[in-house]
Structure 1
Amino acid sequence: MTRPPEILAIDGGGTRCRVACEVNGQRFQFESGSCNVTSDLDGSVTQIMRGLNGLAAEIGAEEADLLNIPCYLGLAGVTGAEKAQEVADRLPFQHVRIEEDRAPAARGALGRQDGALIHCGTGSFQAVQVDGHARFAGGWGARLGDEASAQWVGRLALSVTLEVQDGLHPASDLTRGLMDHFDNATEIVAFAANADAAAFGRLAPQVTKAAAEADPLAQAIMQRGADRLAFALAHLGWTSDMPVMLTGGIAPSFAPYFDAPLQAALTPANGTPIDGAISLAHDFRKEITG
């Protein structure tokens, strides 16, 4: 390491935690495990510090050398200022800003331009940014929200399969396939009682595949998700002259179900959440150094 980095940036999500910096114009990054400060604060702190230690080794520094550098963290499970302060109190950084993980995702995808973001992975949220200020909807987790996420799609497919068993819909290839997989309704209920978001999400590809093959029940699920996403954007202030970026594994599967103006606005994302975290870290450094 010829000189220390100016900033540290951390993007911590339910799947992985990325810790990054830039040295002499070159980005260095280390990836550790799952990080959600609401569901597992102790584990999240462990993964953040593991990532910091790994990054220090990557750039030829000691961990202690990085603790006085301005550090920006966008973390899953930060539900407000009180939670952010609780996390900050557990970390050794001297200059730290902690926000929810939606903020770096929006900055990474949109940059500083006006536009909208639809993120649908295992979880989901929506954002509309105007004049550098972003408004968010969703991202409240599998129990209370995350509509149109992969877990939501998988869970809804099982609900529809049970409705078929009750005679409320004709069976389709999707529901027959799910019933074959689980054998019977009792097994579906038992699975759902213990399944986490990732387990439900692993069922989503069966739904998107069936929808692409014109399965009516699968298409109804995808349409319901697309309608919810469009509803959120409209209430966040999106207008048809603003670009819309899709991120997350299942998000592109909703595109055929959007109305024409929303389809026409779809644009590739500018960058990733860690790109956004680095950008926000530079903003933070400017604030504290003047």
Structure 2
Amino acid sequence: MTRDALFLGIDGGGSGCRAAVADAAGRILGEGKGGPANVVSDPDTAFASVLAAAWGAMAAAGEGDDLGRLVAVLGLAGANVAEAAVAFRARLPFASARVENDVTVAVKGALGVEDGIVAAIGTGAIYGTQRGGRVRLAGGWGLILGDHGSGARMGRDLYEAALLAHDGFIAQTPLLAGILREMRSPDAIVAFARRAGPADFARAAPRVLAAAGDPAADRILADADAAIARALDHLEADGAIPIIFSGGLGATFAARLGHRYPTLVRPAKGSALDGALAMARDLVQDPAA
């Protein structure tokens, strides 16, 4: 590896991705941003987002646009699906690259070498447990089959509840009436849902949070609380270890659920980008890592 070797770390989720370029000493030289980066639900958009973020980081570092110089570790949503991760890696222009789930790099950044659980709650919901240096992932199977407690699931539940209220199956509330009024018709909600991806549904999550006190919002939030707590209780069954909440909704659920785990919730040591960059530098020392 030459003295001017550069390392790229990428943290990509369902709503956007961030990149950082660092030198061999770990000094960050530049950062960039891109759009959604889920390699399962929309790999083409993820590829464009990764390139945009990488080019942005290189430009900010004053290093030009030659991505072929980079040793990269990418933590991307959906990369726990091995087939998708392998196919995505084959498209990358970097000197060498490793594609991991975004929670794997979050675990390495948040915990370093210590044991713990990272609950990554954002557009999706996935958990990473590190015990004795081994990382195991749970959840994160996407909106259709999983991601309970996520922003996408909360948004989906909101639109579903609006339709149920329209049909009279549940009580109408100000939140649900507002959704129906803005969408103009139940048919419009169905049309939106047919074309929407996880990030589209997740954009409604802040509205649910802002409407706390509305019976519909409270039901959706209670369901999210229960799903996340159920996952954490399961992961703690092998012995109590620290819990770190991350992702766009991490702080929200740390506050909502902290009373359940008063001695376990901790701040992260570092970011997912820190974890990705550390793993990228490890690739040079141990290419098989």
TM-score, normalised to structure 2, is 0.83
- In the alignment, the residues of structure 1 paired with residue 75 and residue 161 of structure 2 have an alpha-carbon distance, to the nearest angstrom, of 36
Q: Residue 118 of structure 1: CA displacement?
A: 1.7
The equivalences for 1:103-252 within 5 A come to: 103-211=104-212, 214-237=213-236, 241-252=240-251
Change (3 A) 1:276 1:147: same
Partner of 2:248: helix, strand, or coil? coil
Deviation at 1:27, TM superposition (A): 0.5
In the TM superposition, residue 120 of structure 1 has moved relative to its aligned partner by 1.7
CA offsets, 1:32-55, max 9 Å, x none?
Answer: 333333344444444444444444
Q: Conserved in 2, the CA contact under 8 Å of 1:223 and 1:257?
A: no
Write the mapping of 1:7-156 to structure 2, written as runs, cut at 5 A. 7-23=7-23, 26-28=27-29, 29-61=31-63, 63-64=65-66, 67=68, 70-156=71-157
Once the two structures are superposed, the pairs formed by residues 279-290 of structure 1 within 5 Å of their partners are 279-288=278-287
Relative to structure 1, is the Cα distance of residues 258 and 75 closer, same or farther in structure 2, using a 3 angstrom cutoff? closer
Question: Is the 1:114–1:129 Cα contact (8 Å) retained in structure 2?
Answer: yes
* Structure 1, unaligned runs of 5 or more: none
Q: Residue 129 of structure 1: CA displacement?
A: 1.9
Task: Summarize deviations over 1:212-236 as a string: whole Å, max 9, x none.
Answer: xx22332121111111111112223
| Matched residue SS, 1:7 | strand
Unaligned runs of 5+ in 2: none
Give the deviation of 1:174 after TM superposition: 2.2
- The secondary structure found in structure 1 opposite 2:211 is helix
Greater mean deviation of Cα atoms: 95-104 or 84-93:
84-93
Cα deviation digits, residues 181-221 of structure 1 (max 9, x gap): 2344333323323333223222222211222xx22332121
Alpha-carbon offset, residue 81 of structure 1: 4.2
TM, length-normalised to structure 1: 0.83
Deviates more, 1:136-145 or 1:36-45: 36-45
Contact (CA 8 Å) 1:6, 1:69: kept in 2 or not?
yes
Letter in 2 for 1:159: E
Deviates more, 1:38-47 or 1:263-272: 38-47
1:103 positional shift: 0.8
Instruction: Measure how far apart 1:177 and its partner are.
Output: 2.6
* Structure 2: distance between partners of 1:50 and 1:209: 32
SS of alignment partner, residue 20 of structure 1:
strand
Equivalent residues of 2:74, 2:98 under 8 A apart: yes
Q: Following TM superposition, by how much is the alpha carbon of 1:277 offset from its aligned partner in structure 2, in angstroms?
A: 0.5
CA deviation after TM superposition for structure 1 residue 71, in Å: 2.5
Q: Distance in 1 between matches of 2:164 and 2:49?
A: 41
Change beyond 3 A, Cα 1:4–1:102: same
2:261 alignment counterpart: 262
In the comparison of the two structures, how many residue pairs are matched? 286
Which has the greater radius of gyration?
Answer: 1
SS in 1 for 2:231: helix
**3-state secondary structure, aligned to 2:229:** helix
Percent of pairs with identical residues = 35
Question: How far off is 1:158 after superposition?
Answer: 2.0
Name the SS of the counterpart of 1:191 in structure 2. Answer: helix
Superposition CA RMSD, Å: 3.0
